[in-house]
Amino acid sequence: MKICGVVTEYNPFHNGHLYQLEEAKKKTGADVMIVAMSGNFLQRGEPAIIDKWQRASVAIQHGADMVVEIPSAFSVQPADLFAKGAISLLVKLGIDVLSFGSETGEGKDFSEAAKIYLENEELINKIFQKKQAQELTYAKNMSQLLKKYFPEITLDLTQPNNMLGFAYAKELQKKSEPISIQTIRRKNSHYHDQKVKADDRIASATAIRKLLLSSDEWLYKKKLPFPKETQLCLHQSKLVHWEDFFPYLKYKILTASLEELNQIYLMEEGLEYRIKAVIKEAESMTDFLTRLKTKQLSWTRLQRLCFYILLDQKKEEVEGRLKKIDYIRVLGFNKTGQAYLSKMKRQIKTPLITNVNQKNSTLLSYDITVGNVYRLADSCKIKSQDFRRKPIKID
* Residue 179: strand, helix, or coil: coil
Q: Using an 8 Å Cβ cutoff, are 363 and 223 in contact?
A: no
- Tell whether 370 is in a known binding site: no
What is the spatial distance between Cα 229 and Cα 62, in angstroms, rounded to a whole number? Answer: 9
What is the spatial distance between Cα 193 and Cα 190, in angstroms, rounded to a whole number? Answer: 5
- Tell whether 355 is in a known binding site: no
What is the spatial distance between Cα 156 and Cα 297, in angstroms, rounded to a whole number? Answer: 22
Distances (CA, A) of 174 to 111, 120, 170, 171, 214: 11, 14, 6, 5, 43
How many angstroms separate the most distant Cα atoms in the chain? 59
- Tell whether 334 is in a known binding site: no
Q: Using an 8 Å Cβ cutoff, are 13 and 50 in contact?
A: no
Of 113, 98, 116, the closest CA to residue 179 belongs to 98
- Tell whether 9 is in a known binding site: yes
- Tell whether 17 is in a known binding site: yes
Print the SS3 string covering 233-300: HHHHCCCCCHHHHHHHHHHHHHHCCHHHHHCECCCCCCHHHHHHHHHHHCCCHHHHHHHHCCCCCCHH
- Tell whether 19 is in a known binding site: yes
- Tell whether 8 is in a known binding site: yes
- Tell whether 13 is in a known binding site: yes
- Tell whether 101 is in a known binding site: yes
Length of the chain: 395
* Amino acid letter, residue 25: K
- Tell whether 154 is in a known binding site: no
Helices (H), the chain: 15-28, 52-61, 72-75, 79-92, 107-119, 121-131, 138-149, 160-175, 205-214, 228-236, 246-255, 258-262, 271-281, 285-292, 299-310, 315-321, 335-344, 365-374
* Residue 54: strand, helix, or coil: helix
- Tell whether 219 is in a known binding site: no
Which parts are annotated binding residues?
7-20, 101, 161, 186
Which parts are annotated binding residues for ATP?
7-20, 101, 161, 186
